[in-house]
């Protein structure tokens, strides 16, 4: 089943006509139409940051076989995919986009500085997080995190973020601007990995 062109285009145009009614903008100003589809460009944190700067977003969800291609030609500004897999409709991808964009808006997250250290903010995976108790079933919180030494804690976090990214998503490092300290930490990580591989079982 393919969604027909006329009702979809008319629905989008009606929504765009309402974009400027709250805030003094002319109709359709700063209003971007995003179509959620497996054929779109891959959604990432940089896209979320870009969309969070816009005044209005309209998220268009297809279903089953999608929508008439003329909808894209007439009213869609951008096609987005949340991953290389297929779901029944665009509703769940739209929820992902809404959640990832809204949490970047001022006042949504209690501590605005916390989002600056999350996975993908600068194309790195996040470092591990711990809370109380300090030891559970023989597994302890890393001692450095209990030391109160802020510089050492920051270095440990950066190293762990680089280590996790190198292990799980190494392609992200190719797009990251590495500092001299990052290069030094990566060299340490690689030496340790080589040493573990060389060590007999």
Residue 167 structural domain: 118-198
What confidence tens digit (pLDDT) does each residue in 58-113 have?
A: 999 998 889 999 999 999 999 999 999 999 999 999 999 999 999 999 999 877 66
- 11 has a pLDDT exceeding 90: yes
Q: What domain count does the chain have? A: 2
Whole-number percent of the chain with pLDDT over 70: 88
Q: What is the mean pLDDT of the segment spanning 155-173?
A: 94
pTM of the full predicted structure? 0.78
Residue 109: the pLDDT is 84
Classify the C-alpha dihedral 163-166-168-171 as positive or negative: positive
Query: Residue 27 above 70 pLDDT?
Result: no
- Per the prediction, the chain carries an average pLDDT of 89
Q: Are residues 84 and 52 in the same domain?
A: yes
pLDDT band at 116 (very low <50, low <70, confident <90, very high): low
Under DSSP, the state recorded for 155 is H
- The residue length of the chain stands at 201
Q: Mean pLDDT across the stretch 142-150?
A: 96
Contact 142, 181 (CB under 8 A): no
Kindly state whether residue 110 falls inside one of the protein's structural domains.
no
- The DSSP string of 47-113 is HHHHHHT-SEEEEEE-BTT-B-HHHHHHT--EEEESSSS--SBSHHHHHHHHHHHHTTSTTTSSSGG
Residue 52 lies in a domain: yes
Residue 112 lies in a domain: no
**Quick one: 20 and 49 in the same domain?**
yes
Question: For the chain, what percent of residues have pLDDT higher than 90?
Answer: 74
Same domain, 29 and 98: yes
Beta carbons of 49 and 104 less than 8 angstroms apart: yes
CATH code for position 136: 1.10.1270.20
pLDDT digits (tens, 9 = 90+) for 173-189: 998 889 999 999 999 99
Residues 133-145 have a mean pLDDT of 96
CATH number of the structural domain spanning residue 15: 3.40.1280.10
Q: Coil, strand, or helix at residue 33?
A: strand
């Amino acid at each position: 089943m393919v969604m027909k062109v006329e009702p979809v285009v008319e629905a989008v145009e009606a929504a765009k006509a309402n974009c400027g009614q709250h805030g003094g903008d002319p109709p359709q100003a700063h209003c971007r139409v995003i179509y959620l589809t497996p054929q779109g460009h891959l959604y990432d944190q940089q896209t979320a940051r870009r969309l969070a700067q816009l005044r209005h977003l309209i998220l268009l969800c297809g279903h089953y076989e999608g929508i008439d291609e003329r909808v894209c030609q007439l009213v869609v500004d951008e096609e987005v995919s949340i991953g290389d897999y297929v779901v029944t409709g665009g509703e769940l991808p739209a929820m992902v986009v809404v959640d990832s964009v809204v949490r970047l808006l001022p006042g949504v997250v209690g501590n605005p500085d916390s989002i600056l250290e999350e996975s993908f903010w600068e194309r790195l995976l996040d470092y591990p997080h711990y809370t109380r108790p300090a030891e559970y079933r023989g597994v302890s919180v890393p001692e450095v995190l209990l030391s109160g030494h802020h510089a050492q804690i920051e270095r440990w976090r950066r190293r762990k973020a680089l280590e996790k990214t190198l292990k799980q998503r190494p392609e992200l490092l190719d797009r990251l601007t590495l500092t001299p300290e990052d290069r030094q930490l990566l060299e340490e990580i690689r030496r340790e990995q080589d040493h573990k591989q060389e060590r007999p079982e």
